[in-house]
Amino acid sequence: MGLTVFGSVHDFSLLKQEFNPENDWFSKLSVWIDLGYTGFAKNYKVKKLHMPYKKPRKSKNNPNPKLKDWQKTRNKIISQFRIIVENAIGGIKRYNILNNVFRNKKEEIKDKSIYLAAGLWNFKINAKI
């Protein structure tokens, strides 16, 4: 996506900075997102949006909130696709480039270091080491 940013910035904010909602970025795509991108459908036009259902809140009118069976099934299908991405992120984190403070002197190295970690992880997967 974009360049590496310092500090805690929400992923959806970064997405809106990188892909201006006024442009037609995703109208021909089928998009798979998680609940961190709630509001995506309001900001962007998509061909098909795959987003899990959130469990309803507990209230006086709904003291025992539950998802319907078809919502649970859909969430399971979405999670089977997303687990591949989550495992890749976890694999990159094994190189500690995302977990620890990265103290470097050159600005251009911070993006190259994450690319290197991703490349090493892809090599490990393809080589089946």
Q: What is the pTM of this model?
A: 0.67
**Chain centre to alpha carbon of residue 21:** 18
Give the pLDDT of residue 106.
76
Averaged pLDDT of the chain? 84
Q: Would you report the helix, strand and coil content of the chain in percent, each value rounded to 5?
A: 45, 5, 50
Give the pLDDT of residue 73.
95
Read off the DSSP letter of residue 52. P
Give the pLDDT of residue 103.
75
Residue predicted with more confidence, 105 or 35: 35
Q: Torsion over CA of 120, 124, 125 and 126, rounded to 10 degrees?
A: 90
Please state the rounded mean pLDDT for residues 52-70.
90
